[in-house]
Amino acid sequence: MPCESGIPDYRGVSGRHRRHSPMTYQDFVSDEQNRRRYWARGYLGRRAIAAARPNAGHLAVQALRASGHVDAVITQNVDGLHHAAGTTDTVALHGSLDRVVCLGCGTVGPRDALDARLLAANGEFVDAQRTAALAVNPDGDLELPDDLVDAFRVVPCERCGGVLKPDVVFFGENVPKPRMRHCFDLVDAAGSVLVLGSSLAVLSGLRLVRRAAKDGKTVSLVNLGPTRADDIAHAHVARPLGRVLTELTERLGIPAPGRTGAGGDAAVPAADRP
């Protein structure tokens, strides 16, 4: 089911991942045409990501965080919507589309600066009517025909001329070890773990939940479909995430502005409270 913020889900009954295979790290680094395809699609598709706004789930998580009912937030999403909702200390397990990194010199810079350079090199290479008809994917790109991909100009790193990559963890790539250790530390310090809007199909997120369960912590899930942690969870609520979290904040007497919607694919180490 599409996310209430306007970004499609990867998985689930109608998840885009069923029809769209995202770029792997190996494909990206090994082939110039693959990189051209990625940046051409992302150049247009990022507009959908930039236009997205936090939904009721993101806002409720921030309300729970601000009131002390949640100690830390870890998200598998790369859209920055938890940060936009006010949870500025959210740990983005898989990185953020707002940054780019050079694979040659390691320089990290803002995506907005790269988009400005891509605009200068390509302009509006697809008219607005044709863009509107293209399908947006969860990782912020659009399905583009080959003729448009071939016409796109990719720009290199300004410092060393190297290959630029979004500062996100691609399929086939590992989460940086310091970030993974930090997430384990957050789980170790938590009294319980609440998983929101994730099937936990990706191992990096599942490892955190398994660690909590192994340590005897309560693991609760809110997700419409099945998850890979169903066998170790104490509870699985199969209801729309925004609705569940809004009801929770109301029961706790916490103001949570926003509209009821889908969730933020976040694993939330929570304090040991009701």
Quick: pLDDT tens for 149-190.
898 999 999 999 999 999 999 999 999 999 999 999 999 999
Residues 6+ apart with CB under 8 A from 272: 190, 191, 192
- pLDDT tens digit sequence for 196-233: 999 999 999 999 999 999 999 999 999 999 999 999 99
Mind telling me the catalytic residues? 94
Q: Which range of residues forms the domain containing residue 141?
A: 16-52+102-168
Domain end call among 168, 186, 218: 168
HSE (side-chain half, CA atoms, 13 Å) at 256: 30
The CA radius of gyration of the chain, in Å to the nearest whole number, is: 19
**In terms of domains, do 134 and 256 share one?**
no
Cβ atoms of residues 273 and 220 within 8 Å? no
Task: Using CA atoms of 9, 199, 82, 273 in order, give the dihedral in degrees to the nearest 10.
Answer: 150
Classify residue 8: in a domain, yes or no.
Answer: no
Mind giving me the DSSP string for 133-165? TSPB-TTS-B---HHHHHT------TTT---EE
pLDDT of 262 reads 40
Domain end call among 146, 168, 190: 168
Q: Quick one: how far is CA 51 from the chain centroid?
A: 15
The total number of structural domains that make up the chain: 2
Domain end call among 111, 137, 168: 168
Classify residue 264: in a domain, yes or no.
Answer: yes
pLDDT tens for each residue of the chain, 274 residues long: 335 555 555 544 444 444 457 789 999 999 999 999 999 988 887 776 777 899 999 999 999 999 999 999 999 999 999 999 999 999 999 999 999 999 999 999 999 999 999 999 988 766 554 555 556 665 556 778 888 889 899 999 999 999 999 999 999 999 999 999 999 999 999 999 999 999 999 999 999 999 999 999 999 999 999 999 999 999 999 999 989 999 999 999 997 555 434 444 444 554 433 2
Classify residue 261: in a domain, yes or no.
Answer: yes
CA–CA distance from 35 to each of 4, 16, 154 (Å)?
30, 21, 8
Output the pTM of the full model: 0.83
